[in-house]
Amino acid sequence: MTIVRRVRGPRRWPGIVSGVLALLMLAATGIGIQLAAQAQLQLSTYCAYAAIALSIAALVFGLVAIVTRRGRGAGIAGAIVAVLGNPLVLLYGLSALSGGS
């Protein structure tokens, strides 16, 4: 009699969660920019705060995925997108490129 045992690979949910949160952060940033262009400043401010919170969460899950090797590739991608797509980083980066102070 042969016993077959299923071997599961590493759980990759931290990396996947990081990637999903990073995509949600990009969506919130885009919606906030659209709302600001339409002069709906209160809602665009809420979207910016949501994008910052999502960015922090995506970065944390990305770092957890990198350290624990659970979905490392998605965690690296999520962490990079979370840092580069953060509204504060975009603000400082674009103002530095435009020569503003």
The predicted-structure confidence for 23-82, as pLDDT tens digits, reads as follows: 999 999 999 999 999 999 999 999 999 999 999 999 999 999 999 988 889 999 999 999
Radius of gyration of the chain, Cα coordinates, nearest whole angstrom: 18
How many Cβ atoms from other residues are within 10 Å of residue 95's Cβ? 11
Task: Determine the pLDDT at residue 71.
Answer: 87
What is d(CA 47, CA 44) in angstroms, rounded to the nearest whole number? 5
Q: How confident is the model at residue 9 (pLDDT cuts 50, 70, 90)?
A: low
What is d(CA 75, CA 96) in angstroms, rounded to the nearest whole number? 28
Q: Is the pLDDT of residue 99 over 90?
A: no
What is d(CA 20, CA 1) in angstroms, rounded to the nearest whole number? 44
